[in-house]
Structure 1
Amino acid sequence: MAEFVLVAGAWLGAWAWDEVVPELRAAGHGAHPLTLSGVAERRSEPVGPQTHVQDIVSEVERRDLHGVVLVGHSYSGIPVGQAAERIGGRLARAVFVDSNVPAHGESFVSPWPEQGARVEADIAANGGFWPLPDTAELDDQGLSAEQLARFTRGATPHPGASLTDPAVLERPLGELPATYIKCLLDGPAPNPDVVELLKSDRWRLVEMNTGHWPMLSRPRELARILLEAAEA
């Protein structure tokens, strides 16, 4: 039995996995959606260096999970990638869902100086939080009107400190057993750093013909892919 720890990207809490979790549990596995500090029902909690990494590690240790499949979506690929090496032998596989991946000493914003500067300016102008995206940015991501409404109802501003926090890795990320899920409506190919990681024989690529939030747009298909990843 696998134990899935599911971490959604910026602005989203554990609720984003509501339609994925039952599919995983019905297949006989554990499923543990996690809200990170500073968002959703935990939005009052402070966020500093490595807070989100520790959130994930603490969840695994608190539940004494083994055979762990750590799933990181979008921004959360960065803390998930760091947590994956810190939980050691508890890890079975990491799954990155259309996500960023950590690089030692680099933050979420640092790979894209111009875009990162805009994000940092937005954070400074919004009390230390990254504001929600304009709904027009979600229009081409395969979300129905109902799914888009769920996003806007549940999303909360994201703590900016987590986006500028440099990652800490002790070994190459390519050494982890990992699956990368590329959502094609968000771009036809992974970012160059992911392309490089996919050269490792421990990484595999899976494509989904949907947008950046597949847990909302294609939850059953995503669950099936996660189940297959757990068996890889």
Structure 2
Amino acid sequence: MRACGLADKRGVPAGQATHVQDIVAEVERQGLRDVVLVGHSYSGIPVGQAAERIGDRLARVVFVDSSVPTDGESFVSAWPDGGAAVKASIAESGGFWPLAPAAHYDGQGLADEQIARLVRGATPHPGATLTEPAVLSGPLGELPATYILCVMPGAEPDDAEPDDDVAELLTSKRWRLVKMDTGHWPMFSQPRELARILLNAAEE
């Protein structure tokens, strides 16, 4: 699925609610059941909201080293400066978050050709998706969920544990934690291991 404003839909203004509706509409359009929704990085926020909205069509939601939605909070809300630098960058770039340079991917267990592929395929991110607040109608911890935490070997102790918001959700009996010894892009650095974890999640 191609979200509005990204990939071949690049340059189209979109808010976070647009991405949530993109997911929900695709599930409904195809009449899907026993759906496993997977969100990586930013996309955990719209995926978490969509998981709530598709109701009994959902089998499980998997967050891959991602943010998780908090009602009334945006992707950048938890950033040290409240996302001021990101918001300024978006404003200076016509409403889109500019592309990250190749150096952004250093130290993530990626080969040079994998970094080149990421950079080559990237498109500027619609700014409103990062600054609009999430909307949840119930506790996220009530959803059946798997959180995949990616931790590079030798990482600092604080980086080897989930953030506080994720740690709180993991106290739910419906959530479980899986750790991967890799960086933030396991679909490139450890695709087979990630696929195995996703298949196991789908069978739970």
- Aligned with 1:50: secondary structure? helix
SS of equivalent to 1:180: strand
**Alignment of 1:56 onto 2:23:** yes
Q: Deviations over 1:76-121 (max 9, x none)?
A: 0000000001000000000000000000000001112416111111
After superposing the two structures, state which structure 1 stretch, 43-52 or 89-98, moved more. Answer: 43-52
For residue 37 of structure 2, what is the aligned residue in structure 1? 70
The residue that corresponds to 1:195 in the other structure is 167
Name stretches of at least 5 consecutive residues in structure 1 with no aligned partner: 1-33
Q: 2:147 maps to what in 1?
A: 180
C-alpha spacing 1:104/1:224, structure 2 compared with 1 (3 Å): same
Give, in whole Å, the separation in 2 of the partners of 1:231 and 1:133: 36
Q: Which runs of 4+ in 1 moved over 6 A?
A: none
How much is the aligned-residue C-alpha RMSD, in angstroms?
1.2
- Rounded to whole Å, the distance in 1 between the matches of 2:74 and 2:89 is 16
Q: Distance in 2 between matches of 1:225 and 1:72?
A: 14
Q: Distance in 1 between matches of 2:196 and 2:72?
A: 34
Q: Offset at 1:48?
A: 3.1
Give the Cα–Cα distance (whole angstroms) in 2 for the partners of residues 155 and 194 of structure 1.
Answer: 27
Q: Which residue of 1 aligns with 2:51?
A: 84
Q: Kindly report which structure 2 residues correspond to 1:58-137, keeping only aligned pairs within 5 A, or say none.
A: 58-114=25-81, 116-137=83-104
1:147-226 aligned within 5 A: 147-185=114-152, 187-226=159-198
For 1:140 and 1:47, the matched residues in 2 are separated by 31
Number of residue equivalences = 199
**SS at 1:71's partner residue?**
strand
How far apart, in 2, do the equivalents of 1:76 and 1:206 lie? 18
TM-score, length-normalised on structure 1? 0.83
In structure 2, relative to structure 1, the CA distance for the partners of 1:229 and 1:110 (3 Å cut) is: same
Alpha-carbon distance in 1 for matches of 2:108, 2:82:
20
How much has 1:134 moved relative to structure 2?
2.4
Q: Encode CA deviations 1:183-219: one digit per residue, 9 max, x unaligned.
A: 0028312111000000001000001111101111111
Q: 2:101, 2:119 within 8 Å by CA — same for their partners in 1?
A: no
* Inter-partner Cα distance in structure 1 for 2:138 and 2:151: 30
Displacement of 1:36: 1.1
| 1:153-197, Cα deviation, whole Å (9 max, x unpaired) | 100110001001111100000000000000002831211100000
SS in 2 for 1:82: helix
Q: Does the CA-based 8 Å contact 2:12-2:126 persist in structure 1?
A: no
* Structure 2 residue 199 is the aligned partner of structure 1 residue 227: yes
Query: Which stretch shifts more, 108-117 or 74-83?
Result: 108-117
